[in-house]
Structure 1
Amino acid sequence: MELRQLQYFVKVARLQHVTKAAEELHVAQSAVSRQIHRLEEELGVRLFMQRGRNVQLTPVGQLFLKRAENILNDLDQSVIELHEFLDPEVGEIRLGFPHSLGINMVPQAVAAFRKLHPRVRFRFRQGMYPSLIRDVIEAEVDLAFISPFPEKNDQVTGEIILTEELFAILPENHRLAMEDSIPLSELKDEIFVLFSEGYSLRPIVWEACKAAGFTPKIAFEGEETGTIRGLVAAGMGVSLLPEMAMYHTSSMMPAVVNISSPHVTRTIGLIRRSEEKMPLVVQMFHSFLLDFFSKQNK
């Protein structure tokens, strides 16, 4: 079976006329009829019935048309993707990131990139730590921001682009709210507002508290930094959040206090699939991000 046969078949099926199909294909009518006949012989079925000057698909022809159209559409899309792979200025980048980085960091980086490359398209996917790693491995995204950076995973590779300090956040009327810095152990008797299970900041805060000599007592859980901030500001407890989570302001903002000990940080990494060549547009964006965050760290 030849690609030309499928193209001729689909054109005749859509126009229901061999002569008109030949005119649009810029070939002789006999050539179209010959290719359709060969296709029918190879398949062992009749694809068309004559209806006066027109032709009409047989039931099996209608079934085959759907498959043939899918094959040709897939081929066309493959050609488009190939051109996009080779031309970084017209490609698409599939980017994953956690919700906490979607407030400022990701929009700022993407906006800066699009000023230089306005024709590049983006497709975004937000998720939690395990789902982002899975999305990269299963090729659902090309790149993903992730926190913390995975220390060992044979299927993904990448770079740490930022190391961010965590701060204690307290209700404004808290006894320690006016302090410049406190040891984390000062909060051992407090109730905590933490991220729900599955969010990467939860184990970071948990391990920091354990290093300070206590296990945090959890009263409330949330799934967004805005929720954590709001609950703390409302007096529901205390928590730890990264500096990035403080960029957004609202009428309900907690006090922010440095932690003198232990030093609590989180890493933010940029990951991709191991041992796989990235499309040129993704390579270009990847290089841009490394340079973009390198300058921010200086």
Structure 2
Amino acid sequence: MKLVQLNYYIAVVQQGGFTKAAEELFVSQSALSKSVRALEKEFETELIHRSAKEFQLTAEGQLFYEYAQRILQYNQAQTQELYQRLHSDCGSLSLGLPPSAGTIYFFSQIYKFRECWPGIELKITDALTSKQIKEKMDVGELDLGVMIEPFLDDKYLSHRVYSSEAVLVVSKQHPLSDVKSIRIDKLAEESFLLVSSKYMFHDVVQEYFHRAGIKPRVAFESTQWDLLLEMVSDGQGVSILPKPIIDKCYNNRVHQIHLKEPAFPWALTLIYRKDKFVTRPMQHFLNICGKKL
């Protein structure tokens, strides 16, 4: 049984026959007749007296008419409620946010979101790496996630929200502490302190080295950005890190050097699954971040 069949049946009953109902619905009489016969076959009962001179329902047809009205009324009410809920400023939004991304950019967007839509529950998962966020999004546990570029996955849509660069970071006492920019191939002998392979940024850095045609001397890896910067500040090695992190927390304690040939762009992107319905809370957050839907 389909809703359109119920609509057809109710129209036939209310118009007192197939002719007027067909005119009302802009369909053929044969289409209405086939639809009613399909209902009679499905429910194994006669709904309309075929032998009567004038249009007349059977007792079963009258009962079916009453229930068909209830079903359509219920469907209409539930559809309206669903539409209102989907377009209301309530509900929830789950966001996967790597620790550094909140410090660099999203702290202000979160504030704006909560100020504009206090009725929406914002659930932030911020103790995860980008790789872990991607895993949770793959199984539908998060609505939106923050990644660093490049991010390539055909199952996702992405929207860049913040652009900067990654820089070489050295101590104030390092021989390169007065250098403003440098080619990466000049650093083959340096001891690198890098972000752990648990982070997506690790893969981005390794790909950068690969494109530059050098194999770095990696002295230490860590999941803690602040630990790496403390070690750099202490002269234990050099590192490559996003410039906004240095600007925010360590600009006075270390020296930044722009990388060239090749340059090292760095950006944050907001992602969501192509097959996921974009809810109102998701739309609001994307709009806050400059993505108009």
| 2:105/2:162 contact within 8 Å kept | no
Q: Is 1:184 aligned with 2:206?
A: no
How far, CA to CA, are the matches of 1:259 and 1:144 in structure 2? 28
Distance 1:84 1:111, change over 3 A: farther
Letter in 1 for 2:279: P
User: Structure 1 stretches (4+) deviating beyond 6 angstroms?
Assistant: 81-84
Unaligned runs of 5+ residues in structure 2 are 1-80
Aligned ranges for residues 259-278 of structure 1 at < 5 Å? 259-278=259-278
Letter in 2 for 1:106: F
1:172-216 C-alpha deviation (Å, 9 max, x unpaired) = 111111111111122110000001112111122222223333211
Instruction: State TM-score, norm by structure 1.
Output: 0.64
User: Equivalent residue of 1:121, what SS?
Assistant: strand
User: Equivalent residue of 1:176, what SS?
Assistant: coil
How far, CA to CA, are the matches of 2:266 and 2:249 in structure 1? 22
Letter in 1 for 2:276: E
Counting aligned pairs with the same residue, the percent is: 22
Letter in 1 for 2:92: E
1:286: which partner in 2? 286
User: Equivalent residue of 1:218, what SS?
Assistant: strand
Unaligned runs of 5+ residues in structure 1 are 1-80, 293-298
Distance 1:211 1:276, change over 3 A: closer
User: Equivalent residue of 1:103, what SS?
Assistant: helix
Distance 1:235 1:212, change over 3 A: same
1:52: which partner in 2? none
2:129: which partner in 1? 128
User: Equivalent residue of 1:287, what SS?
Assistant: helix
Return the index of the structure with the highest Cα Rg.
2
Comparing 130-139 with 192-201, greater Cα deviation is found at 130-139
RMSD (CA atoms): 2.5
How far, CA to CA, are the matches of 2:206 and 2:186 in structure 1? 15
1:142: which partner in 2? 143
Aligned ranges for residues 63-74 of structure 1 at < 5 Å? none
Instruction: Compute the displacement of 1:105 (Å).
Output: 1.5
Distance 1:194 1:82, change over 3 A: farther
| 2:101/2:268 contact within 8 Å kept | no
Instruction: Compute the displacement of 1:244 (Å).
Output: 1.8
Instruction: Compute the displacement of 1:268 (Å).
Output: 2.0
How far, CA to CA, are the matches of 1:94 and 1:256 in structure 2? 35
Distance 1:170 1:222, change over 3 A: same
Letter in 1 for 2:278: M
2:197: which partner in 1? 197
How far, CA to CA, are the matches of 2:180 and 2:248 in structure 1? 21
2:238: which partner in 1? 238
| 1:160/1:269 contact within 8 Å kept | yes
User: Equivalent residue of 1:175, what SS?
Assistant: coil
